[in-house]
Amino acid sequence: MQCIMTTVLKFTAPILRLRCTTLRQALFCILYGKEVEFVTSSLRVDRVAAHGLGLSRRNIDLAFLSKLLVLNGNVVKKKSVEVKTGDVIDLLRKDECNQEIVKFDSVKILEMLERTSKGKERVLLTRKRGVVMEWGQFKERFN
């Protein structure tokens, strides 16, 4: 009996950390990332990345200056670039990367929803944290 409980706890502990209410939501989060909807005044890459990843704009600015912010496979050169549906924003984790493996957080813009009554943009995206893959796979994602 204890062996079964240990196995169940081993598999449910990560699901509990996702803060999902059902097993179906937890599996969706693991496979496709967490869906996030938010309202923003502009679609600049730095603003959308900050909202999508749940980071401050200051942290995004530091990542931009360190050339760790990637839009559709290319390092972001201007923060004022506007994103559109289907764009992928990656934030590389410099301390956790080496010559073989890259670790990053990723945001994919799913849909631009209708504007609010005040004219602000509503955005639906998926967020994945702690994605690990080989550099070759990372570069091939955008070809």
pLDDT band of residue 141 (cuts 50, 70, 90) is confident
Tell the CATH superfamily of the 34-140 domain: RNA-binding S4 domain (3.10.290.10)
Cα–Cα distance for residue pair 15/105, rounded to 1 Å: 19
Give the amino acid at 74.
N
pLDDT tens profile 1-43 = 444 444 444 444 444 445 556 666 666 566 667 888 999 999 9
DSSP conformational letter for 120:
-
Q: Which residue in 92, 86, 89 sits closest to 132, CA to CA?
A: 92
Angle of the 2-17 helix axis to the 23-32 helix axis, nearest 10: 60
Cα–Cα distance for residue pair 132/124, rounded to 1 Å: 24
pLDDT tens profile 120-135 = 999 999 999 988 889 8
In this prediction, residue 33 carries a pLDDT of: 78
